[in-house]
Every structure is written in C-alpha cells, then in structure tokens.
C-alpha cells in the first residue's frame, strides 16, 4: 500500500472520496444527537432547565479541545493511525453516554464524545493533501457534504429514535457504528506520513506563531465564529420553541422540522466550486446576509402561526446554507497556505469557531429562558451582522 506524503498531489478516487464523506457525516453526527433532545435528556437525568444547554455545550467544548490538541498531530503522526485511535475514543464515550443515569456522567461523556469526533477534522485535511490544487476546493467541498449531512440528519434521527424508543438507544447504536467504522478506515485508507519532524511541544508552540503571523487565518476564523455561533443559537433554541406552548410539537414533529436543514448540505459542493473560481469575497458577504436574514425573518410573524412556522423553515435553510458556504470558503483560503502546516491551520480555524459555537449554544439557551424567542432571535441576527461589519475592513 502506498504511503502518501504531505506534498502528494494524487487525486482522490471516487470511492475514497465517498468513504471520507460518509465517515465525516457518521462521526460528526455524534455531537448533534443531543441538540433536539435536551428536554427529555435533562428531564430523565434530573438536570435543571437553566442548565440544559450544557448537554450540547459540553460536546462542543470537547470538540474544541480536540481541535486544539489532537488535530495538529495530523502534521506529525501518520494520519490513518491517528484517525482510527480518535474514532475509538468516541466509541467508548458514546457507550458511556448510553449507560448514563446522572448529569455528571452524561456531561463527561458528552465532553469525550466531542473530543473523539475531531477525527473529521483530520479526515478533511487528509482529503486536501490528496487533491490537486486546481480542484482542492471542490474536493474538500464534496467531502464536507458528508459532514453537513451528518450534522443535519443527526437531529431528526435522534428525535425519531427518542420518539419510538429512548434517547439511550441512539448513543448505543452510534457506539457500535463507530467501532465498525474504525475497522473500515483502518483497512481502506492509504497511510499518510507527514514530513514534519517536531516534538509535540514544538508543534503546539508553533501554533501560537502561526496564529499571530497568518492574518487570513484570524479573519476567516472570526467570520466562521460569528456564523457558527448564529447556527448554534438557532438549533439549540428552535427545538425549545417548537416543543413549547406556541407550537406544542412532539419529538417526531421536531424531527421533521430538522429535515429542512438538510437543504444546507447542497451548499458544500457549490461552495467548493465558487472558491475554486476565486469568488471568495462576494460569496463571504452572501453567507453573512443569509444567516442574518434567516433569523430576522422569524421575528416578522406572530409565534405559533403557520407563517411563523414557514419563517422558521426558511431560517433553518438560510442559516445552514450561509454557515456551510463560509466554512468551505475558509477551508479553501487556508489550505493553499502550505501542506506542512495544513492540520495546524485547520485545528486553529476550527477551534476558534467551535468555541464560539459552544458559547452560542449556552447563550442561546440562556437568552431563550430569559427573553423567549425574541431575545434568542435578536442574538442570532446580531452575530452575522458583526461579521459583516468586520468583513468590510478586509483589503481587496
């Protein structure tokens, strides 16, 4: 089996691209299973409603820690081994979550689920290494389509399972799926040996300088932090609104609503092609306007009406498309800066905006608890507008 070096320019075969996309979706879904279930999980575990947002926030914090401390190892350790080991950590954490009967156990498991799920952010630079420069954006976009489908389908899937069985079942099933996936990836993926010869301490230390000396990284991370924060506010609070007295939806109804967000997955390959054509600036502005408009529209109709529900569906599609478009544009900008530092750039990029996502989940739940949907929607609208204002300071 051929070992891939960090400057490999071989194009991904179609089936390996499909495997990477499928793997990304299956792995990243683990972070989002709890999002529509924070009501039943917190009630079952005895967690106070004011703290329910922690069920989502803890997994995102774990994901952020993995991005910072595990993903950079893709520039140092053979990638296939690193991916398989990380997936196995996630499988063990999912098993613990399935067996949890108290808030501390579930929250710790959620933290480790997020930590193990960073395997997707080793897989995406892996795809970038193998893709020729001319179509790198398209290749990464195709692989990221799987990631987006995983994010979007996780919510309705967990809602359906919880409605017909128990929330414990989705975590148990995913644990088995992760163990199976680890075996498939170990067998199917070609190894890739990085050329960097640094110690782990030197690798982490270099990230400080890399962040300081790479303006494009800081800017793209800020853009995505704002949009992913908006995304997290929406998907943390909208299930609470739909289950509340205005709509009184069941978990099945919330699952059907969450399917609207799957439309955002179509944006990934489109965004990759846009990035390859050099339309990054206007597309970035469009992504911010999509997110801001999506949230703002939900304030135009009285809550609980058909028009209000239609506005929420529009918001789900617009916010998901906007966040996905910005994500792929950021990948394309960063992945052309050098193969030897690609994993570290990705780790810093993703860490920044996933911390913002964790904050968005926590603040969104807090805003909804204290000011209802209006408060949450104002918060969600403001975030992309702040990013838009900062975007206009970027030099052409």
What is the Cα–Cα distance from 23 to 29, expressed in whole angstroms? 10
CATH architecture of 14-391: Up-down Bundle (1.20)
Q: Give the pLDDT score at 10.
A: 45
pLDDT, tens digit, 9 for 90 and up, residues 61-115: 898 888 888 988 888 889 999 999 999 999 999 999 999 999 999 999 999 999 9
Q: Give the pLDDT score at 3.
A: 47
* Chain position carrying tokens 């081994």: 81
Q: Give the pLDDT score at 5.
A: 45
Q: Do residues 62 and 115 touch, judged by C-beta distance below 8 A?
A: yes
Q: Give the pLDDT score at 117.
A: 95
- Among 5-9, 13-17, 346-350, 386-390, name the one with the lowest average pLDDT: 5-9
What is the Cα–Cα distance from 298 to 133, expressed in whole angstroms? 41
pLDDT reading at 162 higher than 50 = yes
Q: Do residues 304 and 298 touch, judged by C-beta distance below 8 A?
A: no
Cα dist. 186→152, 167, 279 in Å?
Answer: 26, 30, 37
- 6 band by pLDDT with thresholds 50, 70 and 90: very low
pLDDT, tens digit, 9 for 90 and up, residues 222-267: 999 999 999 989 988 998 899 889 998 887 787 778 777 777 767 7
Q: What does pLDDT average to over the chain?
A: 86
Q: Do residues 255 and 153 touch, judged by C-beta distance below 8 A?
A: no
The pTM of the full predicted model, rounded to 2 decimals, is 0.75
Residue 10's φ and ψ, nearest 5 degrees, are -65, 140
pLDDT reading at 395 higher than 50 = yes
pLDDT reading at 199 higher than 50 = yes
pLDDT reading at 9 higher than 50 = no
pLDDT, tens digit, 9 for 90 and up, residues 20-54: 999 999 999 999 898 778 888 988 998 887 777 78
* Chain position carrying tokens 């989002």: 32
Task: Give CA 142 to chain center in angstroms.
Answer: 15
pLDDT reading at 4 higher than 90 = no
Nearest CA-CA partner of 37 in 271, 284, 193, 236: 236
Mean pLDDT for 176-181 is 97
What is the Cα–Cα distance from 166 to 347, expressed in whole angstroms? 34
What is the Cα–Cα distance from 114 to 94, expressed in whole angstroms? 10
Q: Give the pLDDT score at 7.
A: 41
* Chain position carrying tokens 């054509």: 277
Tokens of 45: 């575990």
- Among 9-13, 87-91, 167-171, 201-205, name the one with the lowest average pLDDT: 9-13
What is the Cα–Cα distance from 322 to 391, expressed in whole angstroms? 15
Indicate the helix (H) or strand (E) that contains 203. helix 200-212
Q: Give the pLDDT score at 339.
A: 67
pLDDT, tens digit, 9 for 90 and up, residues 335-370: 777 767 878 888 888 888 877 887 888 888 889 988
Q: Give the pLDDT score at 318.
A: 93
Strand partners, 4: 192
pLDDT, tens digit, 9 for 90 and up, residues 104-161: 999 999 999 999 999 998 998 888 776 666 666 677 777 878 887 887 788 788 888 8
Q: Do residues 37 and 97 touch, judged by C-beta distance below 8 A?
A: no
Q: Give the pLDDT score at 356.
A: 84
What is the Cα–Cα distance from 306 to 310, expressed in whole angstroms? 6
Alpha helical stretches, state H, 14-78: 14-32, 38-45, 54-69
Nearest CA-CA partner of 298 in 376, 245, 369: 376
pLDDT reading at 391 higher than 90 = yes
Cα dist. 105→58, 99, 194, 374 in Å?
Answer: 12, 9, 37, 33
Q: Give the pLDDT score at 12.
A: 58
pLDDT, tens digit, 9 for 90 and up, residues 287-322: 999 999 999 999 998 888 999 999 999 999 999 889
CA-based R_g, the chain, Å: 20
Q: Do residues 115 and 89 touch, judged by C-beta distance below 8 A?
A: yes
Tokens of 269: 């390959």
pLDDT, tens digit, 9 for 90 and up, residues 189-198: 988 888 767 7
């Amino acid at each position: 089996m051929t070992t891939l070096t960090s400057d490999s320019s071989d194009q991904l075969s179609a089936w390996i691209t499909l495997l990477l996309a499928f793997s990304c979706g299956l792995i990243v879904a683990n972070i989002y299973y709890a999002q529509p279930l924070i009501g039943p999980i917190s009630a079952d575990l005895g967690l106070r409603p004011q703290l329910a947002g922690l069920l989502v926030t803890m997994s995102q914090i774990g994901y952020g820690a993995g991005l910072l401390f595990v993903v950079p190892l893709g520039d140092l350790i053979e990638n296939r081994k690193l991916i398989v080991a990380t997936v196995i950590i996630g499988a063990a954490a999912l098993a613990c979550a399935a067996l949890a009967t108290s808030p501390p156990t579930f929250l710790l498991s959620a933290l480790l689920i997020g930590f193990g799920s960073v395997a997707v952010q080793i897989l995406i630079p892996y795809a970038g290494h193998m893709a020729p420069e001319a179509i790198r954006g398209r290749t990464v976009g195709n692989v990221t389509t799987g990631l987006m489908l995983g994010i979007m389908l996780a919510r309705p899937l967990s809602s359906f399972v919880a409605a017909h069985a128990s929330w414990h079942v989705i975590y148990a099933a995913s644990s088995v799926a992760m163990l199976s996936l680890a075996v498939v990836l170990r067998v199917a993926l070609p190894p890739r040996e990085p050329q960097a010869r640094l110690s782990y301490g030197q690798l982490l230390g270099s990230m400080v300088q890399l962040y300081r000396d790479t303006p494009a990284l800081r800017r793209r991370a800020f853009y995505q932090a704002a949009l992913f924060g908006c995304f997290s506010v929406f998907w943390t609070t909208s299930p609470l609104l739909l289950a509340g007295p205005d709509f009184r939806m069941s978990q099945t109804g919330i699952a059907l609503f969450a399917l609207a967000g799957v439309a955002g997955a179509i944006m990934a390959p489109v965004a990759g092609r846009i990035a390859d054509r050099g339309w990054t600036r206007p597309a970035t502005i469009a992504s911010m306007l999509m997110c801001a408009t999506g949230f703002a529209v939900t304030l135009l109709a009285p809550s609980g009406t058909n028009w209000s529900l239609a506005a929420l569906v529009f918001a789900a599609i617009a916010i998901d498309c906007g966040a996905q478009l910005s994500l792929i544009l950021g990948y394309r900008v960063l992945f052309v800066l050098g193969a030897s530092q690609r994993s570290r750039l990705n780790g810093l990029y993703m860490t920044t905006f996933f911390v913002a996502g964790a904050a968005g989940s926590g603040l969104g739940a807090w805003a909804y608890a204290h000011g209802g949907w209006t408060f949450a929607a104002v918060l969600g609208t403001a975030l992309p507008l702040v990013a838009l204002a900062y975007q206009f300071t970027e030099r052409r």
